[in-house]
Structure 1
Amino acid sequence: MRKICTLIVAPYAPVRAGLAALLRESDAICVQGELPGNTETLTRMLPGLTPDAILYDGDGLEQLIGILSRMPEPPALVALGETPSRELPLLQAASTLPGWGYLGRDSDATTLALALQSAAAGLVVHEAQASSVPPPTDDVLTPRELEVIALMAQGLPNKLIAYKLGVTLHTAKFHVAQILAKLGAASRTEAVTSGARRGLIAL
Structure 2
Amino acid sequence: MIRVFIIAPSSVVRAGLRSVLADAGFEAVGGTQDLGSLDEELLESEPDILLVDGTHDAGEGGRAGLALADVTDQAAVVLLADQPDQARIAEAFRNGVRAVLPREISAPQLQAALQAVAAGLIVMHPAEVSVFLPTPTSSATEIVPLVEPLTKREREVLQMLATGLGNKEIAARLVISDNTAKFHVASILGKLGAATRTEAVAIGIRHGLILL
TM-score, normalised via structure 1 length? 0.64
- Is the contact between residue 8 and residue 34 of structure 1 (CA under 8 Å) also seen in structure 2? yes
In 2 relative to 1, CA 72–5 (structure 1 residues): closer, same or farther, beyond 3 Å?
Answer: closer
Deviation at 1:17, TM superposition (A): 0.4
Counterpart in the other structure of 1:36: 33
Higher relative contact order, chain-length normalized (CA < 8 Å, sep 6+)? 1
Identity of aligned residues (%): 26
1:196 to 153, 157, 163: 163
Q: Which amino acid aligns with 2:132?
A: V
Aligned 8 A contact 1:11 1:37 in 2:
yes
Corresponding residue of 2:89: 88
The alignment of Structure 1 onto Structure 2 pairs a total of residues equal to: 155
Q: Tell me, yes or no, if structure 1 residue 52 matches structure 2 residue 14.
A: no
Structure 1 residue 74 displacement after superposition: 3.8
Offset, 1:63: 3.0
1:109-148 mapped onto 2 (5 Å cutoff): 109-131=107-129, 132-134=131-133
Within 2, Cα distance between the matches of 1:106 and 1:89? Answer: 20
Match of 1:61 in 2: 61
Q: 1:129 to 1:23 in 2, by over 3 A?
A: same
Deviation at 1:143, TM superposition (A): 6.0
TM-score of the pair, normalised by structure 2: 0.62
Q: In the alignment, residue 24 of structure 2 is paired with which amino acid? A: S
| Unaligned runs of at least 5 residues, structure 2 | 135-142, 165-196, 206-210
Partner amino acid for 1:117?
Q
Give the aligned CA root-mean-square deviation in angstroms.
2.9
Gap runs ≥5 in structure 1? 136-141, 146-173
Distance 1:143 1:62, change over 3 A: same
Structure 1 residue 72 displacement after superposition: 4.7
